[in-house]
């Protein structure tokens, strides 16, 4: 393993992480809920009365973040290398997997670990492990 010191951005990573933590704290203390993005979105697909507005509002907040950010600074560029077919495959896996496993990087990773949940620790270790292996296979074995 060699650290890519040019790519490493410790301060903005920490600052952004603190913001994410504040958002999760707001959602837990004000709304009494877990800021798990896959759960918030997934619940919109089986709409229950009184359950749609807050979910939709959270998604609108996420969607409008780039606009709000752009009022203060220049938006960073994104690099999405994958072609469309690959995006579809990955999207399907992320959609099914996060719902079947009851959470993603936010729900299990941020909130679950903050709650010291053994269940979320297992989930986080599993999806990170699967992510490490997948990138290893794609970049180092297949050489794509």
Partner 1 sequence: MLVIASLLAGLVFGLGLIVSGMANPAKVLGFLNLAGPWDPSLALVMVGAIAVGLVAFHVARKRTTSLLGAAMELPISRQIDRRLVLGSVLFGVGWGIVGFCPGPAIVALGMGQVKAVVFVVAMLFGMGIFELFERRKQAVLMRA
Between residues 4 and 49, which has the closer beta carbon with respect to partner 1?
Answer: 4
CB of 125 to partner 1, least distance (A): 8
Total residues interacting with partner 1, rule: CB under 8 A: 112
Give residues 122-141 in contact with partner 1 (rule: CB under 8 A).
122-124, 126-136, 138-140
Please state, in angstroms and rounded to a whole number, the distance separating the CA atoms of residues 99 and 23. 22
Q: CA angle, corner 102, sides to 37 and 30, nearest 5? A: 45
Reference 103, options 121, 131, 123, 125; nearest CA is 123
Based on the shown chain and the rule CB under 8 A, indicate whether residue 48 belongs to the binding site for partner 1: no
- The residues, ordered by sequence, that sit 6+ positions from 58 with a Cβ below 8 Å of its Cβ are 27, 35, 40
Please say whether the beta carbons of 120 and 111 come within 8 A.
Answer: yes
The least CB distance from residue 49 to partner 1, in Å, is 15
47 binds partner 1 (CB under 8 A): no
Restricting to residues 5-34, name those near partner 1 by CB under 8 A.
7-10, 12-34
Residue 71 in the binding site for partner 1 (CB under 8 A): no
Asked if 143 is part of the footprint of partner 1 (rule: CB under 8 A), the reply reads: no
Answer for which of 62, 71, 74, 143 binds partner 1 (CB under 8 A) is 62
Write each residue from 73 to 112 as x if it is in contact with partner 1 (CB under 8 A), else as -, in one continuous string: --xxxxxxxx-x-xxxxxxxxxxxxxxxxx-xxx-xxxxx
Q: How far is CA 75 from CA 26, 52, 78, in A?
A: 25, 30, 9
Token pair 């509002």: residue: 57
Q: How far apart are CA 116 and CA 58, in angstroms?
A: 24
Pick one of 45, 48, 71, 74: the residue that binds partner 1 (CB under 8 A): 45
């Amino acid at each position: 393993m060699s650290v890519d010191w040019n790519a490493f951005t410790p301060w903005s990573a920490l600052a952004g992480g603190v913001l994410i933590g504040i958002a999760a704290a707001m959602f837990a203390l004000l709304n009494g809920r877990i800021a798990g993005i896959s759960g918030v979105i997934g619940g919109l697909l089986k709409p229950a009365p009184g359950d749609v507005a807050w979910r939709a509002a959270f998604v609108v907040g996420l969607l409008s973040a780039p606009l709000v950010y752009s009022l203060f600074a220049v938006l960073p560029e994104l690099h999405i290398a994958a072609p469309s077919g690959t995006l579809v495959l990955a999207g399907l896996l992320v959609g099914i997997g996060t719902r079947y496993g009851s959470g993603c990087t936010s729900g299990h990773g941020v909130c679950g670990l903050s709650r010291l949940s053994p269940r979320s620790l297992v989930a986080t270790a599993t999806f990170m492990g699967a992510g490490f292996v997948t990138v290893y296979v794609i970049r180092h074995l297949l050489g794509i």
